[in-house]
Structures are given as C-alpha cells and as structure tokens.
C-alpha cells in the first residue's frame, strides 16, 4: 500500500435547500463532504482542522482500526474532541477491508451535515468478485433540517417525545423534485443502455431506516458494510442508518431517453407490518455455492464461545442491560491507557439483565434503569456471542446497532422473546452475513458473534441518533494481548486534550 494524505477543514458554509438558507458545519465548504478514496493496504493520514466554534471529532465508520484505536473518532470514547482552531491527524492503515464505508462527525448531532463517502478499492491488480462495472456511483442518503441541529437535539432530548422529523430526505445532499422548491436540487445519474453501474449506497440519515428502489429496475446486492456477500437480486433495498450496501444496476437496452425515479423512503415497523400473527413460509432451494470473502480475517468456525451475554435494549429509558450510558468528560481510551480509570469509568458491566427479561407484548417488568459509564471488559481474543433483545415498550422502531472497531457475524435474528434453549439451534454458523451495523427488529432480537482481536475501547450504540442521545449506547474494553503485535500502539503526540 501507499500513504495518502487528506485535509478536511471543518468550516461554516451557507447552503440553500427547500428555499431555506442556513449556515451549516461543512467539510471543506462542501455538503455532503468530499469523497475520500484509498486502497486496501494503504495508510491514510487525514488532518482534520477545526475552524468552527463547535468541538469536532470524525469517525471512520466501519474501519477496523486494528491497534489504531486512537484514530476511531467518537468524542470522549477514544479521544477528546478537537477544539476550535486546533487540528488532529487521524492515522490508520486499512487492513483486510475493501468496499463502501463512510465518515461522519461523532459529537453532538453534527453528523447531520458532516459526512461523506469513504471508498476503499481492492489492492491494485485485485479484481472485484463480479464483472467490472462501467461506472461507480456513491449515493449517500441523508436528512435536511431547516432548523439548526442544536435546536433539534435540544428539542429531542428535553421533551423526550422524539425529534422533529427532518424537512426532507436527500441523495448526495439533494432533496429532489417531490419536495417543494427543490426540482433544481435533484441527484441525476446519466446512464448508457446495456451497461452495469455499481451504486455505493450509504445511509447517513440521523433517525430513519430507508427503502431504496428504482422504478422498473432490479438491482443485485454484492456487498454490505464493506464485505462481499453472495449476490442476490431485489427490487427494494432496506438500509438502516450506518449501513452501506453496494448494488449492481444493469441498464436495459429498451429504454431510449426514458427516465425513472430512484426513491428512498423511511421505514417504520408499524404494528401489523410483521408481528407474531403473520404466517410466513420459506421456499428453500439448495444453497448456492458459497463465495467466501477470502479477505475476511475471521472465520465463523474459529469462534470458540466465551460466554453468551444478553443486554436488553430497553427503549423506555434507552439503556443496555438497564444501564443508561453516561458520556464521560474524559476520553475512555486515554483513561484506560494511562491507567487512570478512577472516576471516569467502571469496568463492571452487568452480564445479564438486573431483572430477568420477559417480553410478552405488554410492558415488561425491567424498566428500572440506572446511569453509569460501565465498560464491558474482554481479554484479548475473546470470542463473543451477543444477543441483543429489543424490549419494544415504545413500539415502532427497530434499532440499527453499530459496533466500532469490528465486523461481526449475524448468526440469528427473530421476533419476540429470544429463547436461549431453542433459538441457538437455528443459528447460521455456516455462511452468516458479516457487517458492522445490524438491525435489531422491534420486539425481536439479533445474535452476533465477533472475535475481540482489536485492543482498545470500542463504542457500540444505536445508529438512530436520537436513541444514542437517550442512552442506548455502551462501550467494550478489549485488553492487550501478550505478544507485541497484540497491543494498542501509544497515542499520537497531537491527540486532543479535554
Ligand atoms: Cu457511524 Cu458510532 O458511528
């Protein structure tokens, strides 16, 4: 690999959408931010310069950050924020990953305007596992708020009643012709007939899962969260905040000068969309030949289980295992590295819910929540199975849970109450999808496995921004291994101070 240098200047910029002009926090004066490109194996040095009055930090969503946790970005987890007038060089090497990822601000709600695509090409000379596309097109979905993000977060966290919905959804920052005063702000993709286009879809929306489709066309999914998948064809893509999906679009020869809508709309799991009274059948063909992602570092079969744990995702008080995570005022990674955790965090995370969890569809009995900054501590190379159960007291939404610093295997998903005796028998331990953000269904559960082979402090949270703010977040502390190459590297000299 080579070394690539980027500079991202965080600065205010006037932007007009929906006939409403506001001064927003931008990257290099662009909204959304510029596309960053690197190859697998490259080292990237990204200097972030803060020229606004807000504190800032940037997260490289989905980058594994092997031993480079100092460059992960979530404010107060791996670093103190970059203050006004200061800068910080995010320095990491991209190991064993290629595909579509993205970057975004990871402090307050600044990611509503500070985000952009992070494209990782395969190593030079290494082809895609599918035919080379004619053209590659990043399409990043976002939300446009006429109001200031600080006003929205205040409203959402103080009323507790949910945030005001955004004024528009956007593709590459553009709301498109279905909104008033917006026809000129439309994302247009010019295509030739009979060619294949690789669309790199990213959901950067703050609070909504989205359905994406293209009228009269199907697409073939080839990658999710920067991991190749067994290709499959579909006419609709469901993409949760934080997730990325690469699809191939084959244009037809029969549509000269025709145009079709490409749409993304929000997803709300309403009562009756799926519930326990819906009968479903499964048509089961022989599985296709497995296209194992040869670059994947961990094989599902290597995971020897350490201990299943069960954080309940309590959405009355937005907590994991009845702990509502309080953001520290010092960065956790620094506190850990310097051995000064006292008064910053507790290394005791409750293994199992304080009150046994029972999902019955009526409000469960474990709504007592306490506050704390509790880390789940893992020895190096622990194999973890994590079952995330949504208690769904408030109903409606599923939770896209994102884990920093890892990819994980999604070995099971289901509706209702997870049954530790029955459900694991149906886990897919053969060819589960691997990703960094998984949707935990409303009133249901998702089981993931990962290998804790990356020392550091790693944030895990719901990627619905309002749920993160309300406390649906936690952090893992992965300890150093014994060998020299199993240890977190020392912090860079320019690491911001709190
Ligand atoms: Cu994309 Cu912690 O987030």
> What pLDDT does residue 279 have?
19
Count Cβ atoms below 10 Å from residue 64 Cβ, excluding itself: 23
Residue 62 alpha carbon, nearest atom of ligand 1: 1
- What are the beta bridge partners of residue 324? 371
Residue closest via CA to ligand 1's atom 1 equals 61
- pLDDT, one tens digit per residue, over 70-115 is 999 999 999 999 999 999 999 999 999 999 999 999 998 999 999 9
Report the separation in Å between the CA atom of 468 and the middle of ligand 1, taken as the mean of its atom positions.
10
Give 107 Cα–ligand 1 centroid separation in angstroms: 10
What percentage of the chain has pLDDT greater than the value 70? 82
User: CA 39 to CA 71: how far, in whole Å?
Assistant: 18
Band (159; pLDDT cuts 50, 70, 90)? low
Residue nearest to atom 3 of ligand 1 (CA): 61
CA torsion, ordered 140, 143, 149, 151, to nearest 10 deg: -170
pLDDT tens digits, residue range 372-423? 888 889 999 888 888 888 765 555 567 899 999 999 999 999 988 888 889 9
**What is the per-residue DSSP string for 295-363?**
T-S--GGG----EEE--EEETTTTEETTEEEPPPSS-HHHHHHTT--TTT-BS---SS-SS-----SS-
CB of 336 shorter than 6 A to ligand 1: no
CA distance 238 to 18: 26
- DSSP summary character for residue 256: T
Which residue is associated with the tokens 């953001």? 327
Whether ligand 1 lies within 6 angstroms of the CB of 404 is answered as: yes
The pLDDT score that the predictor gives to residue 474 is: 87
Q: Does domain 300-486 have CATH number 2.60.40.420?
A: yes
Lowest-pLDDT choice from 158-167, 227-236, 295-304: 295-304
pLDDT tens digits, one per residue of 227-261? 999 999 999 999 999 999 999 999 888 777 778 88
Read off φ and ψ for residue 156, nearest 5 degrees: -70, -40
**CB of residue 461 inside a 6 A radius of ligand 1:** yes
Whether 60 lines ligand 1, by a CB cut-off of 6 Å, is: no
Class of 138-267 per CATH? mainly beta
**Whether the CB of 242 sits within 6 Å of ligand 1:** yes
Give, in words, the CATH class of 3-126. mainly beta
* Joined tokens for residue 87: 């800068």
C-alpha span between 404 and 409 (Å, rounded): 14
> If you average pLDDT over every residue of the chain, what do you get?
83
Residue 132 forms beta bridges with which residues? none
Q: What is the pLDDT of residues 324-364, one digit of tens each?
A: 788 898 999 999 999 998 888 988 776 554 344 555 555 54
pTM of the predicted structure, to 2 decimals = 0.86
Q: Is the separation of the CB atoms in 137 and 197 below 8 Å?
A: yes
ipTM of this predicted complex?
0.97
Residue of 294, 341, 313 whose CA lies nearest to 479? 341
3-126 and 138-267: identical CATH topology = yes
Supply the DSSP string of 167-230, one letter for each residue. Answer: SEEEETTB--TTSTT-TTS-------TT-EEEEEEEE--SS-EEEEEETT--EEEEEETTEEEE
Q: What's the confidence (pLDDT) of residue 54?
A: 96
Domain spans, the chain: 3-126, 138-267, 300-486
Q: How far is the C-alpha of 345 from the C-alpha of 327, rounded, in Å?
A: 10
Does 104 sit in the ligand 1 pocket, CB within 6 Å? yes
Do 187 and 139 meet the contact criterion of CB atoms below 8 Å apart? yes
CB burial of residue 459 (10 Å; 0-12, 13-18, 19+): buried
Ligand 1 centre from 385 Cα, in Å? 21
């Amino acid at each position: 690999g080579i070394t690539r240098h980027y500079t991202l200047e965080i600065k205010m910029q006037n932007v007009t959408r929906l006939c409403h002009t506001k001064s927003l926090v931008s990257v290099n004066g662009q909204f959304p931010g510029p596309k960053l490109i690197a190859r697998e194996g490259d080292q990237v040095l990204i200097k972030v310069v803060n020229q606004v009055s807000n504190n800032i930090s940037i997260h490289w969503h989905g980058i594994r950050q092997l031993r480079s946790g100092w460059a992960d970005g979530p404010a107060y987890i791996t670093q103190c924020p970059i203050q006004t007038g200061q800068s910080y060089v995010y320095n990491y090497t991209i190991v064993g990953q290629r595909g579509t990822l993205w970057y975004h601000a990871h402090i307050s709600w600044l990611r509503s305007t500070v985000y952009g695509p992070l494209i990782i090409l395969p190593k030079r000379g290494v082809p895609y596992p599918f035919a080379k596309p004619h053209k590659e097109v990043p399409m990043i979905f976002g939300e446009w708020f006429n109001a200031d993000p600080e006003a929205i977060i205040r409203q959402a966290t103080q009323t507790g009643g949910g945030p005001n919905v955004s004024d528009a959804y956007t593709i590459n920052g553009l709301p498109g012709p279905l909104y008033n005063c917006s026809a000129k702000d439309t994302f247009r993709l010019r295509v030739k007939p009979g060619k294949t286009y690789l669309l790199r879809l990213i959901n950067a929306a703050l609070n909504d899962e989205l359905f994406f489709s293209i009228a009269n066309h199907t697409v073939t999914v080839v990658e999710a969260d920067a991991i190749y998948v067994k290709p499959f064809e579909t006419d609709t893509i469901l993409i949760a905040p934080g997730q990325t999906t690469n699809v191939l679009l084959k244009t037809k020869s029969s549509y000269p000068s025709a145009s079709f809508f490409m749409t993304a709309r929000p997803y709300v799991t309403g009562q009756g969309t799926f519930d326990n009274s819906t009968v479903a059948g499964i048509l089961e063909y022989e599985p296709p030949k497995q296209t194992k992602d040869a670059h994947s570092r961990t094989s599902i079969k290597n995971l020897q289980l350490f201990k299943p744990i069960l954080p309940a995702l309590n959405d009355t008080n937005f907590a994991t295992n009845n702990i509502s995570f309080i953001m520290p005022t010092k960065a956790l990674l620094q506190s850990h590295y310097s051995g000064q955790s006292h008064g910053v965090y507790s290394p005791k995370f409750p293994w199992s819910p304080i009150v046994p969890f029972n999902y019955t569809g009526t409000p469960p009995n474990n709504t007592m929540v306490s506050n704390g900054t509790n880390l789940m501590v893992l020895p190096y190379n622990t194999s973890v199975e994590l079952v995330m159960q949504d208690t769904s007291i408030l109903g409606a939404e599923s939770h896209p849970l994102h884990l920093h610093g890892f990819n994980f295997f999604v070995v099971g998903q289901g509706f209702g109450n997870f049954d530790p005796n029955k459900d694991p028998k149906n886990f897919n331990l053969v060819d589960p999808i691997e990703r960094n953000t998984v949707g935990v269904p409303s009133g249901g559960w998702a089981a993931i496995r990962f290998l804790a082979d990356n020392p550091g402090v790693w944030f895990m949270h719901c990627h619905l921004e309002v749920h993160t703010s309300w406390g649906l977040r936690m952090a893992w502390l992965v300890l150093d291994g014994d060998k020299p190459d199993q240890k977190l590297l020392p912090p860079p000299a320019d690491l911001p101070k709190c």
